[in-house]
A and B are shown apart, each in its own frame.
Chain A
């Protein structure tokens, strides 16, 4: 996809993304001059005010929306795991079958499904239809669906909302452990600064609309510090003092 010798990883360069006028709604410029490089195995947290275009950006990266000016460079053979802002499970398939559906090879399905249901604390709902489970459970199934394909690129749109804090924290720890075992490039949207500091190696603050990168902040914490609440709290204060005015954190 990218010209020979270009850096690996994910390259985002969106000059403009517009939504056409529909009915009485005027056309809308949602993203303008947004540049972002995510290196292989990089873990980037995207911050931005509601409605600034974060979901739109993830859809461009996932190739779901090709009507924009600019380019998205990523290796053509990358598998993308996308955790949408809503779970988007197929209601006519059981939880297990929702996971089985995305696996390219049915032979390794049973083991993997069992493994991920256990990891997401969902063992007893494998045979249940999605409209009979809670929203938090459905979110965890959606997370399992993205992880189970061993993605090269993981896109997550506010993945840990509507979960109780202890469960969310266990899942964050699980995410870190999984990424240790299978290095993956990750781009995730969050409104939770502590979560971003715990997980990401870089915070990207978007402002807008139309959205563009306002500021990038590197998170250079060790694994031990990421597990330590006090260290995260210290770093959070530092981030808040660095953050430019009129950005998403101020």
Chain B
């Protein structure tokens, strides 16, 4: 009974919609495959160490040990936690805002062809504005504050979420929606048990690529207009040419983001796709 939508390709359509990722493979077979990334990381550190020794310019290219010591010192002084915390809060706020707004708009565009046709040019426009322009304009129009930052970062991410979720909303299985209608499931149950589960792969794809994009933009935004956060610190150390501190902050942040990915996003994704074969 399911009727395929005609695949009308439209001019200017951006092939942005990442194909939803299928069930994560990571950690599924734990033992030996898990050793491969550990080995690869160890080699990276070793190469870094060798390069630093050969270069012999500790201010330009410090050794991994020096960076680690600096990170530890910053942690001890409380600086690292404070700036890391400020950045993480901004990432979280922009992420939630972008995902919420992007999902609502993307879903509406996926289901309402008229709205889709109307809003598509705006979407193309937003997708193509450089992040820097949005950030600078937000600071000028809204002022150098938290709300400008969160707004600018979210606005950079929203179009991607819209495109991905729109794809998911278009692909909703009509036969299941009919089932929900004939059994009079009502709006709440239909949304929670019939529609959302079909959107999870798309939301997961948007969420994971979103986190990666958002934290990078947050750093730039902090560099340009805030006096706290990892981006601000990196900007400060840049003016001092302090490579060790720049690397210490970057590494700490990458580690935290990875931990979030492993402890929150991946398990969540595994949980919502557990029914798959």
Contacts and interface: CB of A to CB of B under 8 A. Distances in A.
B178 A101 contact: no
Nearest to B181: A64
A88 B183 contact: no
Contacts of B182: 62-64, 80, 82
B6 A88 contact: no
Interface in A84-109: 84-86, 88, 90-93, 101-102
B276 A131 contact: yes
Nearest to B192: A101
A160 B45 CA distance: 64
A92 B181 contact: no
B141 interface: no
A109 to B, nearest CB: 13
Contacts of B184: 79-80
Interface string A40-64: 0000000000000001000100111
B275 A131 contact: yes
A84 B175 contact: yes
A92 B185 contact: no
A149 interface: yes
A90 B178 contact: no
A59 B176 contact: no
A74 to B, nearest CB: 13
A90 B194 contact: yes
B277 interface: yes
Q: Which secondary structure dominates chain A's binding surface?
A: loop
A102 B183 contact: yes
B277 A132 contact: yes
Interface string B167-188: 0000000011011011111000
B56 interface: no
A90 B193 contact: yes
Contact of A91 (B6, B189, B275): B275
B197 A85 contact: no
Interface in B251-277: 272, 275-277
A101 to B, nearest CB: 6
Contact of A63 (B181, B189, B193, B197): B181
A22 B5 CA distance: 10
B1 interface: yes
Nearest to A85: B1
Contacts of B277: 131-132
B113 to A, nearest CB: 15
Nearest to B177: A64
Contacts of A132: 277
A88 B181 contact: no
Q: Which of B178, B181, B183: most chain A Cβ within 10 A?
A: B183
20 contacts: A55-B1, A59-B1, A63-B182, A64-B181, A82-B182, A85-B1, A86-B1, A88-B176, A90-B176, A90-B193, A90-B194, A90-B197, A91-B275, A101-B185, A101-B189, A129-B275, A131-B275, A131-B276, A131-B277, A132-B277
Interface of B: 1, 3, 6, 175-176, 178-179, 181-185, 189, 193-194, 197, 272, 275-277
Given A84-B179, A90-B197, 15 more contacts: A55-B1, A62-B181, A64-B178, A64-B182, A79-B184, A82-B183, A84-B1, A84-B175, A88-B178, A88-B179, A90-B176, A90-B194, A92-B275, A131-B276, A145-B183
